[in-house]
Structure 1
Amino acid sequence: MKLQALVCLSMFAAATAHADETVFDTHVHLREGETSLRAYEADVTAAHVKLAGFAGMWFGGPNQALAGDPAAIRVNDDAHLALARKHPEMLPVATVHPYDGQAALDEVARVAAAGVKVLKLHPHTQKFDAADPRVLALVRKAGELGMVVLFDNANILPGDSERLFNLAIQAPKTKFIFAHIGGMNFRFWNMLALARTADKFFFDNIYFDISATVVLAADSPIEAEFVWTLRNVGIDHVLLGSDYPQLTLGRTLDALHRLGLTDEEQAKIRVDNARKLFGR
């Protein structure tokens, strides 16, 4: 009976640990539109997380935005915008393919005019090279229009972080979020502490969401180094993302708690940095 009581107490503590914390989730995949959105919000409610909002994207999983069919991408972007109009807690994330050239640039301009603030690109699943000149032209255009560009940065592709860093250097007026902070190659990003010391070289336009990687790092042999990296890239540039439905926001938030960050650092990562970046 004692063991049973302890288990129940532990489950209750886990369920209420987030009750007084507000979170903005920067990485949510809504693969089935409204059905996915309702499932996500039910999951957040069950975890007792107070949601300030979330960045939702249609792209991911079976929904691939590949080159050669910009009309299909536009249809999906429009459906996503319609969903966001029904759910003001959602920050809609649009997608294009850089290799669609002028059609991609036109779509970026169109969705920006409709109020979209974030563009998602994924070199691995969309099958493009981040070093391609068409990618640079696209992200510069997004920056001119005031959009933040969210890139996958799980280092599935060799040289992922290096290519993205070079891209950010060449587009200093564009703000980037690199999702997963490089995965298990997060160590690369410690060099930002040195990049900031070079005059007129790095313009602090890189942010990171720590989705998935934070779950691996918490309570692991690399935890201290991960925390050291977060402080080197700058806590003001770190965002919390769940990568739902692959991982839940409750599990991600639990991992954040276990890193040993200060209350002020956690608050910035949970919600404050996202509010500043997205103007919410």
Structure 2
Amino acid sequence: MRSLLLSLALLIPLAPAFGQDQLFDTHVHLWNGEASIKDYQAQLKAANRSVDAFGAMWFGGPNQALAGNPADIRKRNDRLIALAAKHKDMIPIATVHPYDGDAALAEVDRVAARGVKLLKIHPHTQKFDAADPRVLTLVKRAGAAGLIVVMDNANILPGDSEKLFNLALAAPKTKFIFAHMGGMNFRFWNILALARTAENLFAENIYFDISASVILAANSPIEAEYVWTIRNVGVDHVLLASDFPQISLPKTLEAFAKLDLTDEERAKIRSGNARKLLGL
């Protein structure tokens, strides 16, 4: 019995370390399909890293998902789903354009039926206004279909974060991941600490990835404020992400390691939160 208890005691300190080894990158762009996956894997191998899973989308960079060509969007979504079937660690992130109306709504239903869990739309790349009523219609439909909506939140233009906040409030049954956590406007999101005090206002449906912004914040004069924001929005609602190929995951992890977070907080952000959100 003493030997058994000693063995168990020796294993206990290893639990946090194991959690720290798990990685889920929720923001990867496959500009060149299979070739992009090989490039992503090569970067990880060169840095002696690996991921348990990564969320990948086809659009961005040279690949556009503009309004007026829903048939092309559908075709590209199918290619992405096929890649995910081949790469078991890949979580497909489909897209539509809100201004494609009924065609976009139909595509939301179709990809959801095919097992897709994430839908990415980007106001600036796709040239739409996040405050347009068609966007609200789309994200509500996505939420009803069980899709989590990923939206860019680098706060490229003044008011971007405010529009996303209002969108999430208007669609409380839809879960959102706002990429980049507001960029250099991350301070805005501390408003969520107050939103939670208003009865029936905030449905806790906003999550954030920290791609790009974490690199600017780490080892900088704003680092403490950035960590403060992570805790105010809720550590359970923050996800690790790279934004590959613009930024590598090893570079993101190097910055993330500099933040003054506990081991438990790190484990949640690195993998645990994404797994829980996606039901993995």
Q: TM-score, normalised by structure 2?
A: 0.92
Deviations 1:206-252 (A, max 9, x none): 00000000000000010000000000000000000000000110110
Match of 1:164 in 2: 164
Match of 2:228 in 1: 228
Q: Which amino acid aligns with 2:236?
A: D
Shift of 1:55: 0.2
Q: Which amino acid aligns with 2:250?
A: G
Shift of 1:48: 2.1
Q: Which amino acid aligns with 2:200?
A: K
For residues 97 and 24 of structure 2, the distance between their equivalents in structure 1, rounded to whole angstroms, comes to: 27
Secondary structure class of the residue paired with 2:68: coil
Match of 1:112 in 2: 112
For residues 168 and 256 of structure 1, the distance between their equivalents in structure 2, rounded to whole angstroms, comes to: 27
For residues 116 and 105 of structure 1, the distance between their equivalents in structure 2, rounded to whole angstroms, comes to: 14
For residues 245 and 129 of structure 1, the distance between their equivalents in structure 2, rounded to whole angstroms, comes to: 26
Deviations 1:120-146 (A, max 9, x none): 000011000000010000000000011
Over the matched positions of the two proteins, sequence identity in percent amounts to: 68
Deviations 1:105-158 (A, max 9, x none): 000000000000000000011000000010000000000011000000001122
Alpha-carbon spacing, 1:110–1:19, altered in 2? closer, same or farther (3 Å) = closer
1:93-132 to 2 correspondences below 5 Å: 93-132=93-132
Q: Are 2:101 and 2:134, in contact at CA under 8 Å, matched by a contact in 1? A: yes
Q: Which amino acid aligns with 1:89?
A: D
1:20-59 to 2 correspondences below 5 Å: 21-59=21-59
Could you list the structure 1 runs, at least 4 aligned residues long, displaced by more than 2 angstroms after superposition. none
* Structure 2: 5+ residue stretches without partners: 1-17
Match of 1:257 in 2: 257
Match of 2:13 in 1: none
Shift of 1:49: 2.1
Match of 1:175 in 2: 175
Q: Which amino acid aligns with 1:184?
A: M
Match of 1:81 in 2: 81
1:190-229 to 2 correspondences below 5 Å: 190-229=190-229
Shift of 1:47: 1.7
Q: Are 1:218 and 1:258, in contact at CA under 8 Å, matched by a contact in 2? A: yes
Q: Which amino acid aligns with 2:32?
A: E
Q: TM-score, normalised by structure 1?
A: 0.92
Alpha-carbon spacing, 1:101–1:45, altered in 2? closer, same or farther (3 Å) = same
Match of 1:3 in 2: none
For residues 267 and 204 of structure 2, the distance between their equivalents in structure 1, rounded to whole angstroms, comes to: 21
For residues 129 and 200 of structure 1, the distance between their equivalents in structure 2, rounded to whole angstroms, comes to: 26
Alpha-carbon spacing, 1:227–1:70, altered in 2? closer, same or farther (3 Å) = same
For residues 81 and 45 of structure 2, the distance between their equivalents in structure 1, rounded to whole angstroms, comes to: 24
For residues 97 and 157 of structure 1, the distance between their equivalents in structure 2, rounded to whole angstroms, comes to: 20
For residues 122 and 251 of structure 1, the distance between their equivalents in structure 2, rounded to whole angstroms, comes to: 24
For residues 191 and 136 of structure 1, the distance between their equivalents in structure 2, rounded to whole angstroms, comes to: 21
Alignment length, in residue pairs? 264
Q: Are 1:21 and 1:50, in contact at CA under 8 Å, matched by a contact in 2? A: no
Q: Are 2:20 and 2:266, in contact at CA under 8 Å, matched by a contact in 1? A: no
Shift of 1:50: 3.1
Q: Are 1:55 and 1:92, in contact at CA under 8 Å, matched by a contact in 2? A: yes
For residues 148 and 19 of structure 1, the distance between their equivalents in structure 2, rounded to whole angstroms, comes to: 24
For residues 130 and 19 of structure 2, the distance between their equivalents in structure 1, rounded to whole angstroms, comes to: 40
* Structure 1: 5+ residue stretches without partners: 1-17
